[in-house]
Structure 1
Amino acid sequence: MKQTAAFIDAESVETLNTAAVLDPSSGKAIAQTADCGPDEIDRAVRAARRASRQWRRVAVAERARILRRIAELIKRDEADLARLEALQTGKPLKQARRDAELTARYFDFYASAVETHYGSSIPLNADTMIFTEWEPHGVTAHVIPWNYPMQIFARTIAPALAMGNCCVLKPAEEAPLTAVRLASLAFEAGLPAGALNVVTGYGETAGAALTGHDDIDHISFTGSVEVGRIIAHAAANRVIPATMELGGKSPNIVFADADLERTVPGVINAILQNAGQTCSAGSRLLVHESVHDVMVARIAQAFANVEIGPALNDPALGPLISKTQRGRVMSFVERARSHGAKIVVGGDALNGGVLGDGFFFQPTLIDNVDPYSAIGQEEVFGPVLAVTPFRDIDEAVRLANGTDYGLVAGVWTRDIGTAHRMIREVLAGQVFVNTYGASGGVELPFGGFKRSGYGREKGAEGLRSFAQIKTGVVAL
């Protein structure tokens, strides 16, 4: 079985204890990774602190050159990276290939963005020269989830490095393999030792030691609300900034005049992409009562015919990440059934046959969902779509905003006035009209309202998250 070490100060680091990585398509172990503890975390943070004294002074053009070289190496190894990502996450191979493409795109984008990220001058009066400049935080901690390991690695590491920070990243224990591989490519590209460190292991040990370390200057976290609260407290205790992306319960809102030929595929992809294990998954379908029946019928037919299979077979739908996650999804479906919702199609795990040992769950459509029930309010993180009808635009807005989350929303209508009103009134960080998602959306600021977190990633906002502004005032 493959052994994967942590990557600290440009060296592979093994530990006495290890953590198993499973292939969700088969349930079998495919690797063992280092199980880092406080000693390894401290070593990584100290390495980053040493490197930060040099890296922050490297010219922006040189930092950008190294980021572009990282992108080139990712493109060179794209096929291998995609295969490894598919194996550890269970996502279909074509989705993993797209993730690899976007991973390279993040490094390319931030290489260009940082070259045009300037301070400003403030014309206060004729006797004073005032200017602002952006400086790195220093040592940044990054805790990323298992659903998009490569993409989220890149969207948080690329801007941090671009702005002159040095990084310590803790990937999810379920899917750490591509993070270690990407770190090795970064040093092949010329990144100095210590500028990027990857510490593998469990959240309760490695993650807690990293986010609680006294010499961290900023924390970037993507994951659950429950863990986000713990990490936010750790940041608050040391009075350091943090960026939190904590998931969502995102609606697709379908009005009576929607183009259903366009809407139905968009709604389906929004929930089945990565088996629904996406923070921005369109897990709620709010549909006008006049088109409710036809929408449900079309989606049910499509769900019943979805190709399901192992990741490397490149199906439409792969497995969930783990047996635990599959059980969690099942519990939501069972509670919905017991509270009177109608399971139109799906609703169960796949057992027996060639898929029986993997963590597969049927595409599931649930109608007549009480919007205030658990499945109408909480993030399921599986291929489960909850349907609730509405009568008019006021009710649509009320339902859309009726959860504690506010990450993404989709609006489907031909009426430009309806579209703009929904963009204005729906509480979400991104609102899409007649589409859903942005094929990675590298350039688009991303983050949520309410319990979906705070701070923004992607786009130019992603650079600002990893820097602090300083004002210089000179009397002439």
Structure 2
Amino acid sequence: MARSGVFIDGSWTADGPVLEIFDPSDTRVHVDTVVSGTADDLRDATQSALAAEESWRNTTPEDRAGVLRAAAQLLRDRANWIATAMVSEEGKTFKEARGEAVRAAGTLDYHADQALSTQDQVLLPIRSGAVTTVRRRPVGPVAVISPFNFPLLVPAWKIGPALAHGNTVVWKPSPLTPLTSINLMQLFDDAGLPRGVLNMVVASGEATADGLIGTPGIKAVTFTGSTAAGRAVQARLAGLDTRVQLEMGGNGPAIVLAGVDVGQVASEIARGAFASTGQRCTGIRRVIVVDQVEDFENALVAAAEGWNVGPGMDPTSDIGPLVSAAAQKAVRMRVDRLRAAGCAVLTGGDPVTGEARKHGHYVHPCIVTGLDPTSALAGEEIFGPVVVVYRVESPAEAFRLANATSFGLSAAVFSSDASDAMAAADSLQFGTVNMNFAGSVAAHVPFLGWGDSGFGPAEQGETAVEFFTRTQVVNVHGDDDG
């Protein structure tokens, strides 16, 4: 029996297009069937969120925090089962999937704490005998649009603060990972979330544009996905009284300066480039090496070739398949274009051979050199396990090349002198700069991109309250004389 990908007003219901889920590790394996939603379902979900808005807004912070903590505990309890489902539809390794479940649970706990710690602020009065209070009030129903590559973690860091601060939600997850989304939605329902507070519709991009973006009643839209899709959301909302928060693509550089341990740095850069099969907006796409660093390319090739490519449920696999045949084709076409541009492919970029792998969407981790940094190819994001290595003469040239992109999500700098960190950060036009490691994200740390990587307030951390609430000033005077 097909599973429903639509949860509205406390009930599962769907009568839209059918999604057949096949295992990206072996596409001969049919995993499940999901009935997705339509534009009308998204409109109904918005009405449900509107109907529940007042009651949820008036729920105490303690009650909201309690639901989030209950959901976090259920996620920990079901982590193995949910991670297994994620592997079967998205392809990442079980270790990565289970780790994501644990991190998502921690994110919900963090925002439960934020629900309790966001308090009214009493200021100096604006006149004698008055009391001036600054309050944070819910913004209203929020549309959450989340991607396939982190189908638990990204929803947790959007839905968590939205609910914590008293907003209702319409959630549109990726149709590439409906099973993980269904499991997370069921978990919130089991945690005791009232009807209509969180509604989910697995739907296509076309249905989302028609039924959710710009729909009356939605007061804020938080989006994670490609830059093209994010800019389309932004354009559709132009001129409307709707808040927009976009986290989009990346073309992250890793700068390697003189004096580093070449093998250690190559291993860390490989992690930043190839983890999650390179399907991360924060992934390292470009490696910029100063000429004083010798033999780095060989060290990076050795590190890449040490990654075992295989099914996500195989404990010996370091990297799983790409999410879909289209994703695999896009990566292979990009590598072909790099070859046609005269680049040298030092390793990888080809499908994984062998009877046990030929039916999956696998690509060997790929390292390329010789690309003209001024070419159009150099400015494009590659959403897969491919990195391009550049050589430069000086740190100043490395920083200039790192900034020669429209993206500005994250960058990494590797140096033998940790005191270079702030100087490097001053030189780099990125929302996050990591020193001597490839980077990560955490619930308590703001996450944001510059340029074509982001728009609007930062996600995560204490700054999350800025997007999900409005400021209200209340002045109370004790007398009746005006």
Give TM-score, length-normalised by structure 1.
Answer: 0.96
Deviation, 1:42, is 1.6
Task: Please list every run of 5 or more consecutive structure 1 residues that lacks an aligned counterpart in the other structure.
Answer: none
Q: For residue 443 of structure 1, give the secondary structure of its aligned residue in structure 2.
A: coil
Supply the distance in 2 between the matched residues of 1:432 and 1:5 (Cα, whole angstroms).
Answer: 38
Identify which of 229, 232, 235 aligns with 1:233. Answer: 235
Asked if residue 94 in structure 1 is aligned to residue 95 in structure 2, the reply is: yes
Native 8 Å contact 1:259 1:412 kept in 2? no
Supply the distance in 1 between the matched residues of 2:355 and 2:59 (Cα, whole angstroms).
Answer: 57
One-letter identity of the residue aligned with 2:62: A
Native 8 Å contact 1:21 1:173 kept in 2? no
Supply the distance in 1 between the matched residues of 2:211 and 2:257 (Cα, whole angstroms).
Answer: 48
Partner residue, 2:123:
122
Supply the distance in 1 between the matched residues of 2:179 and 2:283 (Cα, whole angstroms).
Answer: 24
Identify which of 355, 358, 361 aligns with 1:359. Answer: 361
Q: For residue 135 of structure 2, give the secondary structure of its aligned residue in structure 1.
A: strand
Superposed counterparts of 1:77-88, under 5 Å: 77-88=78-89
Supply the distance in 2 between the matched residues of 1:32 and 1:393 (Cα, whole angstroms).
Answer: 53
Native 8 Å contact 1:412 1:435 kept in 2? yes
Superposed counterparts of 1:305-316, under 5 Å: 305-314=306-315, 315-316=317-318
Asked if residue 386 in structure 1 is aligned to residue 388 in structure 2, the reply is: yes
Asked if residue 376 in structure 1 is aligned to residue 393 in structure 2, the reply is: no
Deviation, 1:84, is 0.9
Alpha-carbon distance change, 319 to 208 in structure 1, aligned in 2, over 3 angstroms = farther
> 20-29 vs 277-286, which deviates more?
20-29
Native 8 Å contact 1:332 1:374 kept in 2? no
Partner residue, 1:451:
452
Identity percentage of aligned residues: 30
Supply the distance in 2 between the matched residues of 1:6 and 1:205 (Cα, whole angstroms).
Answer: 13
Deviation, 1:352, is 5.1
Supply the distance in 2 between the matched residues of 1:374 and 1:105 (Cα, whole angstroms).
Answer: 40
Supply the distance in 2 between the matched residues of 1:162 and 1:437 (Cα, whole angstroms).
Answer: 27
Native 8 Å contact 1:23 1:30 kept in 2? yes
Deviation, 1:16, is 4.5
Corresponding pairs, count = 474
Supply the distance in 2 between the matched residues of 1:433 and 1:261 (Cα, whole angstroms).
Answer: 17
Deviation, 1:207, is 4.9
Asked if residue 156 in structure 1 is aligned to residue 158 in structure 2, the reply is: yes
Give TM-score, length-normalised by structure 2.
Answer: 0.95
Q: For residue 133 of structure 2, give the secondary structure of its aligned residue in structure 1.
A: strand
Deviation, 1:386, is 0.6
Supply the distance in 2 between the matched residues of 1:254 and 1:154 (Cα, whole angstroms).
Answer: 34
Native 8 Å contact 2:168 2:196 kept in 1? yes
Native 8 Å contact 1:88 1:174 kept in 2? yes
Partner residue, 2:290:
288
Q: For residue 463 of structure 2, give the secondary structure of its aligned residue in structure 1.
A: helix
Asked if residue 58 in structure 1 is aligned to residue 71 in structure 2, the reply is: no
Superposed counterparts of 1:9-158, under 5 Å: 9-27=9-27, 28-123=29-124, 125-127=126-128, 128-158=130-160
Partner residue, 2:347:
345
Deviation, 1:357, is 1.4
Supply the distance in 1 between the matched residues of 2:17 and 2:135 (Cα, whole angstroms).
Answer: 45
One-letter identity of the residue aligned with 2:352: L
Native 8 Å contact 1:214 1:238 kept in 2? no
Identify which of 217, 221, 224 aligns with 1:222. Answer: 224
Alpha-carbon distance change, 425 to 71 in structure 1, aligned in 2, over 3 angstroms = same
One-letter identity of the residue aligned with 1:22: F
Deviation, 1:239, is 2.4
Relative to its length, the structure with more helix (as a share) is 1
Partner residue, 2:322:
320
Partner residue, 1:411:
413
One-letter identity of the residue aligned with 1:64: A
Supply the distance in 2 between the matched residues of 1:351 and 1:208 (Cα, whole angstroms).
Answer: 42
Native 8 Å contact 1:172 1:201 kept in 2? yes
Partner residue, 2:434:
432
- The two structures, once aligned, show a CA RMSD in angstroms of 1.6
One-letter identity of the residue aligned with 2:301: A
Instruction: Give a deviation string over 1:224-249, Cα, whole Å, max 9, x none.
Output: 11111111122224221111001210
Supply the distance in 2 between the matched residues of 1:207 and 1:353 (Cα, whole angstroms).
Answer: 41
Native 8 Å contact 1:259 1:413 kept in 2? no
